[in-house]
Amino acid sequence: MLKNNPPTHKVMARQSKIWDVIVIGGGASGMMASAVASSLGKSVLLIDKNKNLGEKLKITGGGRCNITNNEPDIHKFLKIYGEGAPYLYSPFSIFGVKDTFSYFESRGLPLVVQARNRVFPETEKAIDVYNILYKELIKNKVEIKTGCVVNGFIDNDAKIININTNEGQFYAKSFVLATGGLSHPETGSTGDGLTFLKNLGHSVIDFTPDIVPIEVKEDWVKKLSGATLSFMKITFRLDEPNTKQGKKAFSKTGKILFTHFGLSGPLILNSAKEVGQLLSHGNVSAYIDMYPDTTEGLLDDRIIKIFDANKNKNLKTIIKEFVPEGMNKAIEELIDFLDIDMKVHSIKKEDRIKIVKLLKKLPMSIVGLMGYDRAVVADGGVSLSEVDMKSMRSKLFSNLYVTGDLLHLNRNSGGYSLQICWTTGYIAGISV
């Protein structure tokens, strides 16, 4: 039965060779699956519609490649994946974090553990991770066909027979679908695999941007583009209609990066899904506490001492003494109730208290989540109940395997997404 309506305006060339494995998608999980299967003696054809393999892998982690997370407690590690956690104990027992360390380090790429257990190549270059995988493909004689667009599958009796492409039909004994999700569509992740799975009869959850930056209304936020607050608390509130006070939703503490459109950084990325849920119910406000470990009283005492030591100076010249680095201009703009050129000794107590409250509750309005082009991960994919997670084999087709971002798994940033690629890609590789 023909799936996905391949082009009919020209006759497709038929390729005579029958491969052991055809892998569709040359990203992290696809390259891993190809490398592993070929190392076990299988003939492998790796197809990617891009001109080059690993386009998203090369830019992941800002080009540094957060390759995995070194959380030692497997229960805490898998908890990150939410409802998908129960499905992952078996695959992680086959290929887990320690195996990722072993795989890359044994091939000459030392890994280092940084803050929040995030793991990077020692060189902090994503291209070095790509090169390790690419060398494996070449060493094991994987045939690589880039610029080849898959249009659909042909199946019969619960088996995939071949695939239709812009270069003709290709046949194999087994097929690995590793086309990724919808994040960074400029790298070729345009959701093709999700369409294939739907048309094959799989139950799928549509992709939505999940780990993604947040757009903010205020101009002062955008003017801080590039500035980072290392240890801040941000609280998101759902604004209730007809009231001035919002209902507190949740707070998180960590690093915040200001951008030309709003907020990013690990803390923000890992809050996006919950913020999106709030936005579905109404307007959302956010407040940054620049001194989460200091009470208003203690912060006021600190500012009093600074004021006393600088009584005859202008307020503008000493703002840097009591605000985090890089935030001077924002605070100058937000202290609109004072003339920042006034002498410190002229500042009234009530205005000083306003400054304290501003530092503890810096307000902003959330416009929405950024789109797929800025998403680290797009939530959605095939239902895990329709995949044998011990082998990554489809339960509907005996010779179809599904990997990586095509699986419906929630996760945070911090190496958790790539670890899914390594785990599922490796298991698919040994299973075929």
pLDDT tens for 31-89 read 999 999 999 999 999 999 999 999 889 988 778 899 999 999 999 999 888 888 999 99
Mean pLDDT over 180-192 rounds to: 51
Domain 14-209+378-431 classified CATH 3.30.43.10? no
pLDDT at 408: 87
Q: How far apart are CA 320 and CA 272, in angstroms?
A: 31
Which pairs with CB-CB distance under 8 Å and at least 24 residues apart come from 345-353?
A: 345/307, 345/311, 345/312, 347/307, 347/315, 352/300, 352/303, 352/304, 352/307, 353/300
Strand intervals (E) in 25-110: 44-48, 68-69
Residue 254 bridge partners (DSSP): 232
Mean pLDDT over 297-323 rounds to: 92
Residue 359, number of CB atoms within 10 A of its CB: 23
Mean pLDDT over 349-372 rounds to: 87
Higher-scoring residue by pLDDT: 385, 279: 385
Residue 19 confidence class, pLDDT cut points 50, 70, 90 = very high
> Which letter does DSSP use for residue 12 in this model?
P
**Structural domain spans, the chain:** 14-209+378-431, 213-370
Mean pLDDT over 317-323 rounds to: 89
What's the whole-model pTM score? 0.67
Higher-scoring residue by pLDDT: 48, 336: 48
CA-wise closest residue to 392 among 30, 130, 61:
30
pLDDT at 60: 83
Q: Judge whether 194 and 387 are in contact, CB under 8 Å.
A: no
